[in-house]
Chain A
Amino acid sequence: MPSLTYIRINHWVNALSRVINMELIKNKIKVIAFGMVAEKMQTAELQLEGIPSTDVLRGYLYQQYPGLEGIKFGIAINKKLTSGNQIIPHEAEIALLPPFSGG
């Protein structure tokens, strides 16, 4: 018979995971692909949920869109090009940019 402490902890863990799930579900992002990236994905626009960072986004896209294999692309969050791994904020607008020369 589980102890009262166990029941309380379990209850708390369940509540917490519902909150976390709700938060993840809420992070809806709009992803727009340009140029060659859009061609290889055969789509120019996606709505995604629960993608917390640009590394995760890349991983997801390479997995879901085999046409992207070998294609490098830049990720802009809310019209600013990122580098390295960046957190994707709530309801961010993401652009996938084909390779371009630096400037």
Chain B
Amino acid sequence: MLIDQHNRIHDYLRISLTDSCNFRCAYCMPNEEIEVLPQSRLMSTAEIDQIAGVFVEQGVKKIRLTGGEPLVRKAFPEILDRLSKYPVELTMTTNGILVHKHIDQLKQVGMRTLNVSLDSLNRETFLKLTKRDQLDQVWNNILLLLKEGFRVKINAVALNGIIEKEILDFVALTKEYPLHVRFIEFMPFEGNHWKVDKVITAKHMLDMVKEAYDVVKLQDEPHATAKKYMVPGHQGTFAFITTMSEHFCGDCNRMRLTADGKMKNCLFGKEEMDLLGTLRQGKDILPLIKLSVHRKHAILGGQFTPDYQKTDAEKIQNRSMIKIGG
């Protein structure tokens, strides 16, 4: 079992399969950086399998596949196949554009829930954000997933100038579709031009929703990052992920593996343990894993003040989001 110094059991592993993506969202993939990792630096299928195996032995019960965009990894089907043999809940976060090609396998390995990242329901805005004119295909794939019986959560980063115009449209989706829309407060990463005044807080967003709708507070599960709500009579729900205004570090159970095989004990942690390098030297990775968990900070990787409004993004040492996978 992997327990840190703050008594948090870590049983949820997020594996980035690639730092490559077929979209170009500025807050994730800053323009300055189109240099993706060469194949040799990525964890191979076998290496992912081996490393995941060590984590599962230590009690990991849930694995999420991320990226970049996990589905652009050519070996995705093989990787999924290998991981499906572990007794874990498998899930994935994707931009959705390629999902139609993988539905059969996703069903076959028992993936029940998928998170689709979607920051705008407006075609022009979507194009501006992602640099791709593909909103229609993404939306069609969301509908396809629902039709095929998947539980679909939508992750919308709350970007100022956009979310104020669209939040009610997102909530309106939940009337007709059993979707779970989560609004994520904008977070600072290397090069993404984060500023305090760009953060639209959950409270502000909730107030906007309440102006148009009756809202009921739902119960949140343990280890949940999202605070859930619904409009009575709607089929779906909405929620806020309050990373900035109200962190949820207290019962964090998450660990991350970057595409180049480095372990991060926190999304905002600057320290990384080189599991892949160690594995390739034929050495045991478990001591490094335990060390990483042991060194995990209590809150926000030790790089933030409790009041997010005092955050100096320049001082935070971390990768860009594309290189972590969220």
Binding site for B on A (CB under 8 A): 32, 34-35, 76, 79-81, 83, 95, 97-98, 100-103
Contacts and interface: CB of A to CB of B under 8 A. Distances in A.
B213 to A, nearest CB: 11
B154 to A, nearest CB: 11
A95 B216 CA distance: 9
Contact of A101 (B178, B219, B226): B178
Nearest to B228: A103
B236 interface: yes
B222 interface: no
Max count, chain A CB within 10 A of own CB: residue among B230, B235, B236: B230
Contacts of A80: 216-217
B323 interface: no
Given A103-B228, A103-B239, A98 B217 contact: no
B215 A79 contact: yes
B234 interface: yes
25 contacts: A32-B232, A34-B232, A35-B233, A76-B217, A79-B215, A79-B216, A81-B219, A81-B230, A83-B219, A95-B232, A97-B216, A97-B233, A98-B233, A100-B178, A100-B236, A100-B237, A101-B151, A101-B178, A101-B235, A101-B236, A103-B180, A103-B228, A103-B230, A103-B236, A103-B239
A74 to B, nearest CB: 8
Nearest to B178: A101
Contacts of A81: 216-219, 230
Interface string B196-225: 000000000000000000111111000000
A103 B237 contact: yes
B209 to A, nearest CB: 12
Contacts of B236: 100-101, 103
B33 to A, nearest CB: 35
Contact of A103 (B215, B218, B232, B233): B218
A100 B215 contact: no
Given A100-B237, A101-B178, A103-B239, A79 B217 contact: yes
Name the residue in A32, A95, A97, A102 with the highest tally of chain B Cβ atoms < 10 Å from its Cβ: A102
Contacts of B151: 101
A68 to B, nearest CB: 16
Nearest to A95: B232
Contacts of B218: 81, 103
A35 B178 CA distance: 14
Nearest to B182: A103
Contacts of A35: 232-233
Contacts of A32: 232
Contacts of B235: 100-101
Nearest to A96: B232
A78 to B, nearest CB: 9
Interface string B150-179: 010000000000000000000000000010
Nearest to A35: B233
Interface in B225-249: 226, 228, 230, 232-237, 239
Contacts of B214: 79, 95
A1 to B, nearest CB: 60
10 tightest CB-CB pairs across the interface, nearest first?
A: A103-B237, A34-B233, A35-B233, A34-B232, A101-B178, A76-B216, A103-B180, A80-B217, A103-B228, A81-B218
A32 B233 CA distance: 11
Interface in B130-154: 151
A102 B232 CA distance: 13
Nearest to A76: B216
